[in-house]
Amino acid sequence: MEGYRSSWNRVQKSELARFEQTVLPHLDAAYNLARWLTGTVHDAEDVVQESYLRAVKFFSGFHGENARPWLLAIVRNTCYTWLRRNRMDDQSVELGETVQVADTQSASPEAVLLAASRRELVRQAVEALPVDFREVIVLRELEGMSYKEIAEIAGVPIGTIMSRLARARARLQKLLSELDLTEAHA
């Protein structure tokens, strides 16, 4: 009996080692997504911890080559559960309308401050996006993931990701309409 138990433990331990090896390297990506979706430092860490504990439970069912989208799908679901519990998701839209007005007025004339406030405006505009737009922007522009991977994470068809990205970018353009972005590009 003890022999059985110890070999079972060994299997568990090697499985855990395999989990740590394949899934832990994506911790930054998991945290970044959780931080952007929950919007707070403290909750992001809680969500990430919860996601990893969930992930380890489902790990035996994972046989793919790339653990990153697999993990991020779990992180995303955990975030959405958290958002529903905290009912934070519907506030972001209203917040968005006020961003540009408030901050353009407070922008300093000094070039340095101007650049800093431009950056700040862009960050606020992304934060102000509704959560389903925010996640495609973060996954595409910050994680550099393909449409296919993002579709896998969000559990929707690739075509939906394509149109969501287009709408998210149009929304950002509108929020940042007072900034001359082409200048920043040059």
Please give the distance of CA 107 from its chain centroid, rounded to a whole number. 28
Least Cβ distance, residue 121 to another protein (angstroms):
8
**Residues whose CB is less than 8 angstroms from the CB of residue 96 and which lie 6 or more positions away in sequence, other chains included:** 125, 128, 129, 171, 175
Given the complex with another protein, which of 65 and 94 has the nearer CB atom? 65
Segment lying near another protein (by CB under 8 A), choices 72-80, 85-93, 96-104, 155-163: 155-163
Least Cβ distance, residue 118 to another protein (angstroms):
7
Q: How many CB atoms lie within 10 A of CB 152?
A: 20
Least Cβ distance, residue 108 to another protein (angstroms):
17
95 binds another protein (CB under 8 A): no
Q: How many residues bind another protein (CB under 8 A)?
A: 56
Least Cβ distance, residue 82 to another protein (angstroms):
16
- Phi, psi (5° rounding) for residue 157? -65, 155
Rounded Cα gap, residues 178 and 2, in angstroms: 71
CA distance to 35, 44, 71, 143, per residue, from 28 (Å): 10, 11, 11, 10
Which of 27, 95, 102, 114 is in the footprint of another protein by CB under 8 A? 27
61 binds another protein (CB under 8 A): no
Q: By CB neighbour count within 10 A (0-12 exposed, 13-18 middle, 19+ buried), where does 37 fall?
A: buried
- Cβ proximity of 76 and 33 under 8 Å: yes
Given the complex with another protein, which of 3 and 61 has the nearer CB atom? 3
* Residue 157 DSSP symbol: -
Least Cβ distance, residue 176 to another protein (angstroms):
7
Rg over alpha carbons for the chain, rounded to the nearest Å, is 20
Q: What is the binding site for another protein (CB under 8 A)?
A: 2-3, 5-6, 9, 12-13, 16, 19-20, 24, 27-28, 30-32, 35-36, 41, 44-45, 48-49, 52-53, 56, 65, 118-120, 122-123, 126, 137-138, 140-142, 146-148, 157-159, 162, 165-166, 169, 172-173, 176, 179, 181-182, 184-185
